[in-house]
Amino acid sequence: MADIKSIDSLTSISIDKKNFEWIYNLYWEKVYAVCYNSIRETEPAKEMVQDIFKSLWERRENLELEKTEHYLVRCAKFKSFEYIRNKISREKHMDLKMQDCKMSTNCTEEHILFNNLKEKVSTLVEKLPCQCKRVYKMSREEGLGNKEIASSLLISERAVEYHIHKATNMLKLSLASYAI
């Protein structure tokens, strides 16, 4: 087994199982300290340490370490930065989801209120006198003008205006409780 100075001064070290264990035992606390001091969370910091050493082991054949300690500290800083970036991204995502949820709740509530109001208006229109109901529906539902309604029903434009006025007044009175 190599000593600390010889590992850190070599440009390329062979990491076998024995050297890996030695490096791990020598540096895991420092790597953990860097991670923990960056994020202030115990479990994620432990996971980062495991990820760093796992990566070191997996890349042992292709990795050339000049200074083991510096390499591991740099890895810890990068892992911490990545964790913070992902955490911020997750929090933003959750905030957006919560806003969507709040909006959809309001949207659903408004949709229900709209449908209730629409149903109430339909019920009230059906209770209008026959000619009044016919004129109102032609005006509001079909979008016809007073002249078109008058010629279609063979009544005067003044009569059309009277029926629309009568219908809207009755609806206003009946729907007063829905007013804000």
- Predicted confidence at residue 160, as pLDDT, reads 94
Q: Is pLDDT at 50 greater than 90 in this prediction?
A: yes
The residues, ordered by sequence, that sit 6+ positions from 21 with a Cβ below 8 Å of its Cβ are: none
Say how far apart CA 159 and CA 149 lie, in whole Å: 10
- Predicted confidence at residue 8, as pLDDT, reads 46
- Predicted confidence at residue 48, as pLDDT, reads 93
Per-residue pLDDT of 56-85, as tens digits, reads: 998 888 877 778 899 999 999 999 999 998
The residues, ordered by sequence, that sit 6+ positions from 166 with a Cβ below 8 Å of its Cβ are: 128, 132
Mean pLDDT of 4-27: 70
CA–chain centroid gap for 27, Å, is 40
The set of long-range contacts for 156-160, using a CB threshold of 8 Å and a minimum separation of 24, is 160/135
Per-residue pLDDT of 112-123, as tens digits, reads: 888 888 889 889
pLDDT grade for 13, boundaries at 50, 70 and 90: low
**Share above pLDDT 70 across residues of the chain, in percent, rounded to a whole number:** 87
Per-residue pLDDT of 82-104, as tens digits, reads: 999 888 888 887 778 777 766 66
Q: Is pLDDT at 180 greater than 70 in this prediction?
A: no
19-23, 34-38, 88-92, 94-98 — which is least confidently predicted?
94-98
4-8, 28-32, 133-137, 170-174 — which is least confidently predicted?
4-8
- Predicted confidence at residue 127, as pLDDT, reads 93
The residues, ordered by sequence, that sit 6+ positions from 124 with a Cβ below 8 Å of its Cβ are: 170, 171, 174, 175
Average pLDDT, the chain: 84
Mean pLDDT of 161-179: 88
Q: Is pLDDT at 6 greater than 50 in this prediction?
A: no
Say how far apart CA 36 and CA 97 lie, in whole Å: 29
